[in-house]
Amino acid sequence: MKSRSVQVILILMVLSFFLIHFHFPHCSNNAPTEEKPSPVHILILSSWRSGSSFTGQIFSQHPSVFYLMEPAWHVWVKMYQNSASVLHMAVRDLVRSVFLCDMSVFDAYMSSQKKKSDLFQWETSRALCSPPACGLFSRSDIIPAGNCKILCGKYPFSKVEEACKTYSHVVIKEVRFFNLKVLYPLLIDPSLNLKIIHLVRDPRAVFRSRENTKADLAHDVNIVVGAWGLKGEAELYKAMEVICKSQAEIYKTGRQAMPSFLKDRYLLIRYEDIVRDPLARAAQMYAFAELHFTPELQKWVHNITHGKGQGTQAFGIGSRDALGVSQAWRKTLPFEKIEKVQNVCKDAMSLLGYRLVQSEEEQKNMSLDLLFAQSSPK
Ligand SMILES: *[C@@H]1O[C@H](CO)[C@@H](O)[C@H](O)[C@H]1NC(C)=O
Ligand SMILES: *[C@@H]1O[C@H](CO)[C@@H](O)[C@H](O)[C@H]1NC(C)=O
């Protein structure tokens, strides 16, 4: 009797040994690391006019990615009387819901009669231009927003959620976060597997681009710096000051990887580095996001960074001479304006590796490289 039960116990032990080691190899660690759920959630955290539409497209066109550009635009439009910091929590909540493919969160900000095409910049999402969100393209196609907008508008809003649930990666681009701490709850949320790509750009180039798109940005500027009651140029520089401060703060927190839940979940990318070597930077971002860089996408990334357009539209990302566009401010921005931007942004610039120019000669001397390695904050 006794030896019989010892036998049974032995058999059970042997069986469980095999089950644990051969069926669930990851359970055999003595101290198992926390398993994150399988969808990967990527937040492209950036600011206005910093190349984030372009970077967003690098993700949107990937066949494994469900992408939304600026979903929190709806929050800011609906609650325009508030400041950016008041809206932080609503923006965070919306971003979390979208990552989890729960699109009911838009009920608070859009009409009950909403269609897929009421979603801000929906046509920039390849996932919303292919099955199950639209039957006229295939999921592996590179789909230009213009074509999608014409052909894929008339689908119900429920298609957004249905499509989202079929992807292994959800990527959101947002310019409406001004610090990283707001995102801590999402980083420790066990239902999310969040990684942050922090995209920055030379503030002088940002400034020039903002000047050229003033009307498009007026609504957002009011939320960012409206409380100061400034007008004209003064408001422009105040906006730059607020943006530069917040970008520097985000970088300092992210680079120090303190607290530890940020470790391996924060990647800084400078727009100028993408422009100088688009393929290498795309490869780096895809690797960080656990995405395969297909040969088709490699060709496409090369194509869109070696075109001729000057990229003047507010939200356009046509084929363009990316390198030329990124340096255009040096030829067109008056030196007095550069000095003012440098004055409000110098801390962020030295941290992120943008060299200040001391004279108009330096500004116009194109053999003077203004990019250096970004410093590691202590
Ligand atoms: C790249 O551009 C060429 C020439 O315009 C075009 O024929 C080709 O389809 C493009 N490839 C991709 C992947 O976009
Ligand atoms: C332009 O910058 C380069 C690199 O710093 C320097 O060697 C050169 O002398 C400069 N040219 C002029 C005209 O200042």
What is the pLDDT at residue 326?
A: 80
What is the pLDDT at residue 36?
A: 61
Structure tokens at 154: 């008339």
Written as tens digits, the pLDDT of the chain (378 aa) is: 455 665 655 554 544 544 444 444 443 344 444 566 579 999 999 999 999 998 999 999 999 999 999 999 999 999 999 999 999 999 999 999 999 999 999 999 999 999 999 999 999 999 999 999 999 999 999 999 999 999 999 999 999 999 999 999 999 999 999 999 999 999 999 999 999 999 999 999 999 999 988 889 999 999 999 889 998 899 999 999 999 999 999 999 998 766 788 889 999 999 999 988 999 999 999 999 999 999 999 999 888 877 654 444 333 444 456 677 788 899 999 999 999 999 999 999 999 999 999 999 999 999 999 998 766 544
Query: Is the distance from CB of 259 to CB of 359 less than 8 angstroms?
Result: no
- Using CB distances shorter than 6 Å, the residues near ligand 1 are 142, 296, 299-300, 303
The number of the ligand 2 atom at minimal distance from the alpha carbon of 365 is 1
Best residue among 359, 365, 371, 372 to mutate for probing ligand 2, ranked by most atoms within 8 Å of CB: 365
Query: Is the distance from CB of 326 to CB of 200 less than 8 angstroms?
Result: no
Best residue among 279, 303, 306 to mutate for probing ligand 1, ranked by most atoms within 8 Å of CB: 303
User: Nearest residue CA, atom 2 of ligand 2?
Assistant: 368
* Residue from 71, 92, 89, 85 nearest 246 by CA: 85
What is the pLDDT at residue 307?
A: 64
What is the pLDDT at residue 143?
A: 93
Domain ranges of the chain: 40-364
Best residue among 367, 369, 370, 372 to mutate for probing ligand 2, ranked by most atoms within 8 Å of CB: 367
What is the pLDDT at residue 304?
A: 81
Cα of 301 vs centre of ligand 1, distance in Å, is: 10
What is the pLDDT at residue 308?
A: 53
Structural fold of domain 40-364: Rossmann fold (3.40.50)
In the chain the first and final C-alpha atoms are separated, in Å, by 68
What is the pLDDT at residue 327?
A: 86
User: Nearest residue CA, atom 9 of ligand 1?
Assistant: 300
Q: How many CB atoms lie within 10 A of CB 352?
A: 24
Cα of 297 vs centre of ligand 2, distance in Å, is: 38
| CA atoms of 289 and 284, how far apart (whole Å) | 9
